[in-house]
Structures are given as structure tokens and as C-alpha cells.
Amino acid sequence: MNKKTGIFLILPAFIILITIFIGPTIYTIVLSFSSYSFTGVEFSGLSNFSRLFNDPSFWRAFYNTLIFVGVTVPIELFLGFLLALVANKAMKGRSIIRVALLIPWALPTALNALAWRWMYNTDYGLFNSILINLNIIDTPINWLGEIPLAMISMMIVAIWKTSSFMALLILTGLQTIPSELYEAAKIDGATNWQALRKITIPLVRPSIMVSLLFRTGDAFRSFELPYNLTGGGPVNSTETLSVFAYNNFFQYLDFSYSSTIALIQFLLLLGLAIIYLRTLRWDIYE
Amino acid sequence: MALRKFFGLVLVVLFGVVALSGVSVEIGISPREIGAVMDEHISNFEAQNPDIQIEWLKVPGVPGQQHSQYVTLFFGGSDKPDIIAMDIIWPGEFASRGWLAPLNEYFPEEEHAEFIENMIDAAKYEGDVYGVPLYINGLHLYYRKDLLKKYGFTPPNTWEELVEQASYIVEQEKDPNLYGYISMWGKIEGLFMNYLQFFWGKGGEFFDEEGNVVVNSKEGVEALQFMVDMIYEYNLAPESIVTYTPDDARILFQQGRAVFMVVQDFVWPILTASDSIVADKVDFMRVPYFEGYPDTNTVCLGGWLLGININSQHKEEAWKFIEYLTSHEAQLRTAAVTGNLPTRQSVYEDSRLVEQFPVANKQYKDFMVGNVRPSAQLGEKYTQVSEIMQREIQSALLRLKTPQRALDDAVSQINALLR
């Protein structure tokens, strides 16, 4: 097989990628520097950006997104790591634990959000009913109707759902650690805690890295959860950047402004990813 | 297996032949609107017009999601669906984007008078007409007639009476799960509709003579203060009301957990169904007004219209189907099956309407004191104005701001948007 044939063979996939991925990306960038109207697209310089930086709704959405990412991702990482350690233990029922880990993550987020919306319901929801019957509270808790409780409720759903995703990724890393290392450490008289710190964590670091990158990106772009759980309310305390961009595009038909939001979101995420890659080094044998 | 494959192939070929034999017109409308009667309308129409096939694109039931789907299709310049069903607040917005075909040649001025005037106003944008009213709906005050009777009350005409009655009933019933007043105060369009009814009921106007937004007037602030008081002062509405959609309210009412409720008319068939525990205990009336304002129109109207996609390849055939769906007989049948009221005035003079849908005239009477949202004046800015209002109203309902402050903020944001 010569080079020409090779190029010829990847051409279809390449063309499809260009059209469905790169085309819209370029169009988004074009739109964010222009004003879109029925008459056509007109270049408008940085006006969309100056409007964005003076828009309190944008800053609110930005703040909500940062808080959401900043709280959920570390907790998910911690819980995911614990779950992975449990699932990695050679014991009975290990396969059941792994399946149980998969379920929350495999359910579609939108359905999850709707199910949780029912459970959180103040007037006839599952949680209030349990808490009242156990005499833990005497008046129902307004899970989704108070600030900042609505945001906390939303974070709980995210943590429940994606800790298991983190666990699965970290578990794959744990599986690659040779057991001889632990045996050698045991002979040298290392405690479990020392083994965890000196062997497990350094060796599992690449998987942690990957799961952090994936999850931060996902959490930063979270849309289905706020959209279906709270609709961004009460007021706009749970409106994330993605919901803000969506509303501007689909509800207010402000295509240029919405593209600007998406572009800024992309740049922020890119920045985050670079910081990650810099601070959590890929190579484990430093 | 082979046999099944063969039959499948035959079917596909047959469908292909059928599709080639006529023009196919696609209509986008959600099953939630007039879904129960849609198949019947389609087969009747196709029997009358053998050269036209109707495809039904079942869009989602939540108006916001439908809106998103249409925006995606139009933004991409799609020629399908040929016909779309539009919420009363969309035609101005879609027309201003150049997505709808003007219907002046099909739907001349002299025929407009046959429809309810408010609905025609909503169909117009800059002098052209872009939609034909399909059905009309609005908000009503639903109440528990058994509870009112038990304590010797007649249904309230004013909000002051409602507060007095609801407070007394809740106090006497001693049921912690019984709320005095519920409605859809989540961060949705319904919240703005519900605010407007209190605002109008004080004699408030959204625009002044010069066309300025004056929602932060004395009437506006008092209306919002009343909503806040409903929760914290009179303790009639639960604090969780700020998360309610119309369905959330309906479920509570259906469980017998509320005395008064304001939502759209789609709940009537559900509340009076045989499996509803409040089936024989519920009644409805026009939305009240405040003392001293008996002449105000407080019923917030909604409704749906049919328009034609500007890129449609079959505008003539699409028009034929719209004509059919909005005809006297079709509207009568739609009302009988789904409870969605006609927009053609002549249907209300037809004795069959009340026979087939007993509360039709009662609902229609409420619409006579109806009022529309300011969507025609705001055009494509309407959804954003509504969102600003929802956000600021909720700020007051959560006591983050005083009503005066919330509405001042709303007006300054709306003015910045309209500039």
C-alpha cells in the first residue's frame, strides 16, 4: 500500500470531520465578531465582547459555573478514588460493585435530572417524606426553591452521578499496578498508608489526570442538569454558562452574542486544560 | 426471516410509490396541543384532497423546546416543516427574522373579522399577517367548590375576598398540607403571565402613552408586593411555589392540597376525569381583580396559530391544510375532543359546541375579560423581556430585593435592551 492510497482512504473521514467540526467552529468565531441579522452578517469588531464583559448575567453564569466545577470536581475525585480502591480489592462481589458503579453514570443526565427533580419536590418528594417520617425535620425543605440551596442540590446530583465515572477511570489505572510492588513494600515493613502514598497515588496519577481533565471539561459545559432540574432558577442562581449561551441562541435568537459566549467558554476551558497539564505532570518518573 | 425481509421491501417500495403520487406537506405541532384529534383531521383532509399527503412532525410538548427545534430548522434554512404551530408570542419574533411567509394573499383583511380580535393582533407584524389562529386558551381561577360551600362563601370576585376566604378555610381545615393559593411561579413564562394578571387587576399598563415601559409604576409595585405577601404575609402560597410549573400546581390541586389555583385551561379535562379525587369538587371562574378595579381585564390569554415556512416548496397545499384545520367544523371537532377552544367566532353560536364540550361558553366568557401579553409591541425582544421580568419577580419573591427595587432594575434592563 503506498502513501497515495493511504491518503485516499482517510479522505472521506477527513472531509466529514472538516465539515461537521471545523466548519461550525470557524462560523462561531466569525459570528462572535459580527452582528447577525436577517439582512446578513455584518462585521462589528469587539462589540459583542465589550457587551459580554459588561453583562451581569454573564458574570453570574460564569460565577455559577466556577463554583459548580470548583466544588463538584474535587469531591468527585476524592469519592471516585475511594470507590476505585474498594472496587479494586480482591474480594467477593467485585463484579457486582463494578456494575453498580456503572449505573449512575450510564443513565442519561436529562432523565437523571428529571428523576431527582421528583425526589427533591418540596410538597410530595421522596427526600422530604423520608426526613419528616424519621422526625429529622418538621417542615419540608425547599430543595430547589432557595438560594444557595438549589445550587447545593444540583451539586449533589452531579456528585452522585459522576463520582462513579471517576472511579471507573481510576480503577483502570489501579489495575495496571503490579502486585509485586506491594509485596516488596510489605516485606520492607511499610504500613498500608505508606503503600498508598508511595506506590498507589504516584502510579495512578496519569489516570487521575485524565479523569480530572475529562470531568472538568464536562462540568464546565454542564447543560442538561441545570436545564432539566431547575431551569436555571430560582432567579438565576443555577444558570451555568451553557444554559446562558443556549438561552441567548434558542430563546432570544441572538446568534452572535451566543457565539461569543461559546467562544469565551472554549478559551476558558483551554486555559484550564493547559494549567492542568502544566501542574499535574504526565510523566510519573520525575 | 427472508419472507419478512421481502415484505419489508415491498412495503418500502409501496410507500415510495405513494409518496410519489402526490405532494407531501409536513406540519410541526406537538401532541400536547391537539394531538388527540390530529390523526382524524389528517385522514379527513387527505380523503378530501387525495393529491396531498400530510406528514405530522411531533415536536416536544414544552413550548420552549419546540421553539428551539424550530429555530434550529429555520436557522439552517430547512424547507420542512411546511406548516408550524406557533405560541401566541412567537409570530412577531419569527416574522422579524424573515422565517415566515406572509399570508396576505391567502388570508385577506375582510376574513380577519371572523376570528377573535386579540388572536389576529398577535398574528400581525408590521402590517402583514403571518398566522391563522388555531385555538385560544387563557388562565382561570380554579377553586374547590365543596370547601367554599362548607364555610358559606360565594366564589371571590376580588383578590381581597380570595385572601379572606382562603385564610379562613386553611385555618378551619387545620391541614398543614392544604395551601390557600397555588400557581406557576417557577422561572418560566407562566410566572410573567401570573404577574401580569395582578398588575392588570390594579389597573396597570405595561407601556405608557409614549411607549415607555412603566412596569415599575405604583400599580406594578403593589401587584408584586401582593405576590410576596401571598407567601410570607398571608401564608397562603407555599415557599416552594417559586419552583412550580403549571403541571406541578395541577398535581397538588388534584391531590386535594389547594383551595385556589390559577393555571391554563388544559387542566380542566384532567381535573374532572373520573380518576381525579377532586372531579366533582372543582369549578372555575374568571381571574379576580383588586377592590375598586372591577372593569379591568385580568385573564391572561394564550393560544396557538398556524404559519407557513418561508422556504416551503408547497405553500398552496400547506395553505389548504391550514384552511381546513381552522374551518368551522374542524374547530368544533377539536374543541369537542381536546377541550381547546375555537378562534372562529361563528363556532360559539353553534349549539353543538356546548353539547359536545359543556364548559366552552363558560371559558369563552372568561376570555371576554382577557388581555394579551405585550408580545406584539416587543416583537423579537419579547422572550428576553419576559426573562428579565421572571428573574426580577423571583428576586422579590425570594426577598433578595424589595418589589420597588426589583421592578426598577427590570425597567432599566428592558430599556437598555430596547435601545
Chain A nearest CA to B93, separation (Å): 9
| Whether pLDDT at B262 is above 50 | yes
The percentage of residues in chain B with a pLDDT greater than 70, rounded to a whole number, is 95
pLDDT digits (tens, 9 = 90+) for A219-236: 999 999 999 999 998 999
| A124: chain B residues, CB-CB within 8 Å | 251-252, 255
Is the domain of B258 the same as that of B386?
A: yes
- A interface test, pick of B73, B243, B389, B409 with most A CB neighbours within 10 Å: B243
Is the domain of B191 the same as that of B320?
A: no
Provide the domain count of chain B.
Answer: 2
Is the domain of B41 the same as that of B82?
A: yes
More confident residue, A101 or B231: B231
By mean pLDDT, which of A167-181, B130-144, B186-200 is the weakest?
A167-181
Kindly determine whether residue A250 and residue B67, on different chains, have CB atoms separated by under 8 Å. Answer: yes
Kindly determine whether residue B240 and residue A122, on different chains, have CB atoms separated by under 8 Å. Answer: yes
Asked if residue B362 belongs to a domain, the reply is yes
pLDDT digits (tens, 9 = 90+) for B88-117: 999 988 998 889 999 999 999 999 999 998
Strand B299-308 vs strand B83-87: parallel, antiparallel, or unpaired?
A: antiparallel
Chain A nearest CA to B158, separation (Å): 28
Kindly determine whether residue A38 and residue B387, on different chains, have CB atoms separated by under 8 Å. Answer: no
Is the domain of B241 the same as that of B224?
A: yes
Nearest CB to A123: which of B72, B238, B395?
A: B238
| A118: chain B residues, CB-CB within 8 Å | none
Q: Give the pLDDT confidence score for residue B191 in this predicted structure.
A: 96
Q: Give the pLDDT confidence score for residue A4 in this predicted structure.
A: 86
Kindly determine whether residue A124 and residue B391, on different chains, have CB atoms separated by under 8 Å. Answer: no
pLDDT digits (tens, 9 = 90+) for B3-30: 555 555 555 544 544 444 578 999 999 9
- A interface test, pick of B67, B93, B187, B252 with most A CB neighbours within 10 Å: B187
Kindly determine whether residue B243 and residue A122, on different chains, have CB atoms separated by under 8 Å. Answer: yes
Kindly determine whether residue A231 and residue B187, on different chains, have CB atoms separated by under 8 Å. Answer: yes
pLDDT digits (tens, 9 = 90+) for B66-93: 999 999 999 888 998 999 999 999 998 8
Chain A residue closest in CA terms to B257: A123
Q: Give the pLDDT confidence score for residue B271 in this predicted structure.
A: 94
Is the domain of B341 the same as that of B412?
A: no
- Taking any CB pair shorter than 8 Å as contact, residues of chain A touching chain B are 38, 121-124, 140, 142, 144-147, 230-236, 246-247, 249-255
Is the domain of B382 the same as that of B366?
A: no
Kindly determine whether residue A251 and residue B384, on different chains, have CB atoms separated by under 8 Å. Answer: yes
**H/E stretch holding A259:** helix A255-279
For residues B132 and B123, what is the distance between their CA atoms, to the nearest angstrom? 7
pLDDT digits (tens, 9 = 90+) for B399-416: 999 999 999 999 999 999
Chain B residue closest in CA terms to A118: B248
Nearest CB to B383: which of A123, A140, A252?
A: A252
Q: Give the pLDDT confidence score for residue B376 in this predicted structure.
A: 80
Q: What is the DSSP letter of B289?
A: B
In DSSP terms, B408 is beta-bridged to: none
**At which residue does the C-alpha cell 389547594 appear?**
B258
Chain B residue closest in CA terms to A36: B97
Strand B124-125 vs strand B370-371: parallel, antiparallel, or unpaired?
A: unpaired
Give the CATH number of the domain where residue B309 resides: 3.40.190.10
Asked if residue B3 belongs to a domain, the reply is no
Q: What is the DSSP letter of A21?
A: I
Asked if residue B334 belongs to a domain, the reply is yes
Is the domain of B355 the same as that of B380?
A: no
- B interface test, pick of A235, A242, A243 with most B CB neighbours within 10 Å: A235
SS3 label, residue B371:
strand
Q: Averaged over B174-191, what is the pLDDT?
A: 94
Record the pTM.
0.89
Kindly determine whether residue A233 and residue B68, on different chains, have CB atoms separated by under 8 Å. Answer: no
Chain A residue closest in CA terms to B73: A250
| Whether pLDDT at B238 is above 60 | yes
pLDDT digits (tens, 9 = 90+) for B33-62: 888 899 999 999 999 999 999 999 999 887
Ranges of residues in chain A whose predicted pLDDT is under 50: 284-286
Is the domain of B350 the same as that of B407?
A: no
Kindly determine whether residue A144 and residue B243, on different chains, have CB atoms separated by under 8 Å. Answer: yes
Q: Side chain identity at B19, as an amino acid letter? A: A
Q: Which of B371, B386, B409 is the last residue of a domain?
A: B371
| Whether pLDDT at B194 is above 80 | yes
Determine whether B35 is exposed, middle or buried from the number of CB atoms within 10 Å of its CB (0-12, 13-18, 19+): middle
Q: Give the pLDDT confidence score for residue B133 in this predicted structure.
A: 96
- Taking any CB pair shorter than 8 Å as contact, residues of chain B touching chain A are 64, 67-68, 71-72, 75, 93, 96-98, 177, 186-188, 238-243, 248, 251-252, 255, 257, 380, 383-384, 387, 391, 394-395, 397-398, 400
Is the domain of B279 the same as that of B337?
A: no
- B interface test, pick of A60, A253, A258 with most B CB neighbours within 10 Å: A253
| A55: chain B residues, CB-CB within 8 Å | none
Is the domain of B227 the same as that of B336?
A: no
Is the domain of B230 the same as that of B191?
A: yes
Kindly determine whether residue B391 and residue A236, on different chains, have CB atoms separated by under 8 Å. Answer: yes
Nearest CB to B383: which of A147, A232, A251?
A: A251
Q: Give the pLDDT confidence score for residue B55 in this predicted structure.
A: 94
| B96: chain A residues, CB-CB within 8 Å | 38
Structure confidence at residue B292 as a pLDDT band (50, 70, 90): very high
User: What CA–CA distances, in Å, run from B118 to A14, A37, B136, B141, B376?
Assistant: 54, 29, 10, 21, 10
For residues A115 and A117, what is the distance between their CA atoms, to the nearest angstrom? 5
Question: What is the overall mean pLDDT for chain A?
Answer: 89
**At which residue does the C-alpha cell 440551596 appear?**
A149
Query: DSSP assignment of A145-210, as one string?
Result: SSTTHHHHHHHHHHHHHHHHHHHHHHHHHHHTS-HHHHHHHHHTT--HHHHIIIIIHHHHHHHHHH
| B239: chain A residues, CB-CB within 8 Å | 122, 142, 145-146
Kindly determine whether residue B395 and residue A235, on different chains, have CB atoms separated by under 8 Å. Answer: yes
Asked if residue B228 belongs to a domain, the reply is yes
Asked if residue B7 belongs to a domain, the reply is no
Kindly determine whether residue A147 and residue B186, on different chains, have CB atoms separated by under 8 Å. Answer: no
C-alpha cell at B412: 432599566
How many CB atoms are closer than 10 A to CB B144?
Answer: 20
Is the domain of B177 the same as that of B42?
A: no
| A145: chain B residues, CB-CB within 8 Å | 239-243
Asked if residue B14 belongs to a domain, the reply is no
Residue B145: domain span: 139-300+375-418
| B398: chain A residues, CB-CB within 8 Å | 146-147, 234-235
Contact B157, B288 (CB under 8 A): yes
Q: Give the pLDDT confidence score for residue B6 in this predicted structure.
A: 53
| A142: chain B residues, CB-CB within 8 Å | 239-240, 243
Kindly determine whether residue B240 and residue A234, on different chains, have CB atoms separated by under 8 Å. Answer: no
Asked if residue B10 belongs to a domain, the reply is no
Contact B358, B74 (CB under 8 A): no
Asked if residue B124 belongs to a domain, the reply is yes
